[in-house]
Amino acid sequence: MFENLSEKFQGVLKGLRGHGRITEGNIEGALNEVRLALLEADVNYKVVKEFVAAVKEKALGAEVLLSLSPDQQFVKIVHAEMTRMMGAQAQELNLARRPPVPVMLVGLQGSGKTTTCGKLALHLRKGKRTPFLVPADVYRPAAVEQLKVLAGQIEVPVFDTRPGADPVAICRDAIAQADRSGYDSVLLDTAGRLHIDAQMMEELARIKAAVDPGDILLVADAMTGQDAVNVARAFHEKLGLTGVVLTKMDGDARGGAALSIRAVTGAPVMFVGVGEKLDALETFHPDRMASRILGMGDLLTFVEKAQEQVDEKQARELSRKLRRNEFTLEDFRDQLLRLRKMGSMEEILGMIPGLGGKMKELKGMAPDEAELKRVVAIIDSMTAKERRNAKLLNGSRRKRIAGGSGTTVQDVNRLMKNFQQAEEMIRRMSKGGMRGMGRNFPFPQ
Amino acid sequence: MTGPNATSRGAFFTRLKAGLAKTRELLFMNVEAIARGIGPVDEKVLTDLEEALILSDAGAELAAEYAETLRAVWRRGELPDVDALRARLRKMVAETLATRMVPLVVVPPYPFVVLVVGVNGAGKTTTIGKMAGWLRLSGHTVLLAAADTFRAAAIEQLGVWAERAGADIVKHKEGADSSAVAFDAVRAAKARGTHVVLVDTAGRLHTKSHLMEEVRKVVRVVGKEIPGAPHEVLLVLDATNGRNAIAQARTFQEFTGVTGMALTKLDGTAKGGVVLSVTREIGAPIRFVGVGEKPEDLRPFDAESFAEALF
């Protein structure tokens, strides 16, 4: 699923490639694909509309960088905008006040509140806190028992909730007990409820009024669809959410609900649940989430790495040389070394758009690190003159170079062939962006 | 089991309506023209309708498909006003889903074994509890198999439902092999002459292949003990889930051979439009919808009410 979307997305971006810059005309198809991808990722319709409009505005106004082709630039803008909308960086619970600090967990039935409660307790304890767990769900059969069992597993103290007790009273009593016992944080596991159940929503408001929580976290299922906005809005209006925990992120849901909830409530996603074990709770990274929703994780890493490694000036110089047919073996070596700085060959090939699914066949073709070293050794064994003018390399020179670099004449010959092909490829790449090099640069078969 | 009877359809509909009235207050989008059902049809109305479909989780592609069909009908002059448009769309949806309106019928030879599967938090245990209640009311004897041996207190939770419904329960300790629990349950039911066995399995994300293999094993083990069992593999889908339900259905189908579906949590504001895509993916009928936590809140799926509630 992930790969399909990524490829689809890139397919449309092909349309952008080759154009000097992003214009109103050539961006429409790409924007529509973003729209469809986001809807399929369960981002709310209205949020998608706003997002696409924002991206369009940014893309049209943007200055095209020389190191990036227009399609890469577009990807970058889309991603940056999504990351921005998702909130700046990871946020922690607001525990900096007089303990014990109550934290309320609220949400629909089955979103994962009780499990998340256990995970948060473990997380807090790892941060040298002393959490206290409070089962306040007296409705679902055995919900109290469930939290007590989880508490036992991680050895965190738990309030002894009596069946049938009033949830408001439970929370109040639990906090008093936490205060007496010196616990610094209290996790209130409230019952799952529908956001349109007025009576049950009122119960949450009463708990809030009774305990004055430091945080009220909405626990939301990453698989939630369009309805996420209705749910988030209702909980937010009633309670004023301070954060969100996105659960079941270990599945293949793209988690568009994260963006919807953020857009509606403004509350940051603080944690994501990534498994059934109690340590499977991670802090939230907006940029990773953006990649996931867009279904384009690796592509983006590639663009960013390329951008880091190829500075504008060098790129300009390279393109000038290419225009004048001045691409030399020295440049070839520099390109190779630059590529190597980006990561191992396998890693790089994995990042190149469109190659995701073809990694297996490519593995045999990619030069390993040893081969790369050999190539660099061969080029280093040439004289400066030879490096600048490959035509000089006759048989006796090749023999000398092979001896000097500890390789064979065949190796040198293969390199020369590769160089010529690379030259051709780079010429294409300078016209069509980096995509042109994706297939087989720098080692054609 | 013939399930809840037809006279209750009115009450079910009222319930859905009540949920929807609240939806309208909450709704983000302006789909008023469609909701009110007045005025002439124009491009704007068609776009609104496409939006409403997307907002129901039917997916952009399918929404566009429906809108396109309706646009053509409109151009032929067959849709004088919004009311007619809405009626036409409902009819299209209802007709699409009509073939999936096949109630679960419990028939001898007993025990009739129902295996309940789904992702975490979809509502498997609650659905089983409600089913047990219905089955008991219609005179069947029921045994629940607590084969969710993973989640803390899942066994206790099922135990409460068993007690409420007056059903037997077979359970092992937490962490036990779920196939072994299912096997024992089926054996016990055979020995006691129980009519129905409802097997509660642990929630599992369809992407976890080892857990999917585990549930496949439950199917196999049950089938070994009673040829033809499980007679029903019921996939529980959460109506608040979006497009991911498609992948869930596909994968559970592959591993367990789904023979029926239950769509839960339809009493909220989620419409469950994703089933329009799910039914394109797998052939199983929709047995039930869940509209609350009481036994009577498990209803037979009705394509027309469902279509009506969508818009």
d(C-alpha A369, C-alpha B114), whole Å = 56
Domain that holds residue A146: 101-293
Task: Flag whether pLDDT at A100 surpasses 70.
Answer: yes
Residue A445 forms part of a structural domain: no
Q: How far apart are CA B277 and CA A224, in angstroms?
A: 16
Please give the pLDDT value at position A304: 55
Residues A53, A113 within the same domain: no
Q: Are residues A35 and A14 located together in one domain of the fold?
A: yes
Lowest mean pLDDT of A172-181, A213-222, B44-53, B275-284, name the range. Answer: B44-53
A301-322 pLDDT tens trace: 555 555 555 555 666 666 666 6
ipTM computed for the complex: 0.89
Residue A25 lies in a domain: yes
Give the H or E element holding residue A146: helix A143-154
Residue A93 covered by a domain: no
Is residue A325 situated within a structural domain?
A: yes
Decide if pLDDT at A362 tops 80. Answer: no
**Least confident segment among A195-199, A215-219, A232-236, B13-17:** B13-17
Is the pTM of the predicted complex or chain greater than 0.80? no
Q: Give the Cα separation of B54 and B61 in Å (integer).
A: 9
- Here the CATH number for the domain that contains residue A336 is 1.10.260.30
Q: What is the mean pLDDT of residues B247-275?
A: 96
Domain annotation covers residue A444: no
**A170 and A201 housed in the same domain:** yes
Least confident of A37-46, A394-403, B8-17, B151-160: B8-17
Check B269 against A112: CB less than 8 A apart.
no
- The pLDDT value given to residue B188: 98
Looking at the structure, tell me whether residues A310 and A405 fall in a common domain: yes
CATH of the domain at A15: 1.20.120.140
For position A17, what pLDDT does the model report? 58
Confidence of residue B27 (pLDDT cuts 50, 70, 90): very low
Distance (Å) from the C-alpha of residue A422 to the closest C-alpha of chain B? 41
Same domain, residue pair A288 and A188: yes
Domain final residue pick, A30, A57, A85: A85
Best mutation target, B120, B124, B265, B311, to test chain A (most A CBs within 10 A): B120
Answer whether residue A96 is part of any domain: no
Q: What's the maximum distance between 2 C-alpha atoms anywhere in chain B?
A: 66
3-state secondary structure A155-181: CCCECCCCCCCCHHHHHHHHHHHHHHH
Select from A38, A113, A111 the least CA-distant residue to B264. A111
The last residue of one of the domains, among A263, A293, A323, is A293
pLDDT of residue A432: 44
What is the amino acid identity at position B106? V
Q: Say yes or no: A197 and A244 in one domain.
A: yes
Partner-chain residue, chosen from B51, B243, B268, that has the shortest CB–CB distance to A40:
B243
Out of A293, A318, A347, a domain closes at A293
* Average confidence score pLDDT of chain A: 81
Together in a domain, A120 and A247:
yes
CB-based contact A267:A245 (threshold 8 Å): no
Whether residue A276 sits in one domain with residue A303: no
Strands B196-201 and B112-117: parallel
Evaluate whether A226 touches A53 at the Cβ level (below 8 Å): no
- Contact assignment for A149 to B153 by CB distance below 8 Å: yes
Does B251 touch chain A if contact means CB atoms closer than 8 Å? no
Mind telling me how many Å the CA of A330 is from chain B's nearest CA? Answer: 48
Task: Work out the pLDDT band at A24, boundaries 50, 70, 90.
Answer: confident
pLDDT in tens, B123-142: 999 999 999 999 999 999 99
Of A227, A229, A257, the CB nearest to B268: A227
Number of domains in chain A: 3
pLDDT value at A40 more than 50: yes
pLDDT per residue as tens digits for the range B174-199: 999 999 999 999 999 999 999 999 99
Residue A18 in this model has a pLDDT that exceeds 90: no
CB contact under 8 A, A226 and B55: yes
pLDDT digits (tens, 9 = 90+) for B30-44: 344 455 556 788 888
A118: domain CATH number?
3.40.50.300
Instruction: Give the per-residue pLDDT at A434.
Output: 41
Beta carbons of A330 and A379 less than 8 angstroms apart: yes
B125 to chain A nearest CA, in Å?
Answer: 10
AA identity, residue A416:
M
In a domain, A47, yes or no: yes
Is residue A443 situated within a structural domain? Answer: no
Q: Which has more confidence, B80 or B259?
A: B259
Residue A267 and residue A376 in one domain? no
* Mean predicted lDDT score pLDDT of chain B: 89
Res A3 pLDDT > 80: no
* pLDDT (average), residues B292-300: 91
| Whether residue A284 sits in one domain with residue A312 | no
Indicate whether A256 pLDDT > 80.
yes
Q: Predicted confidence band at A343 (pLDDT cuts at 50, 70, 90)?
A: low
Contacts of A225 in chain B (CB under 8 A): 57, 240-243, 270, 274
Whether A364 and A225 map to the same domain: the answer is: no
- Inform me whether the pLDDT recorded for A192 exceeds 80: yes
Give yes or no: residues A150 and A273 share one domain: yes
pLDDT at A91: 81
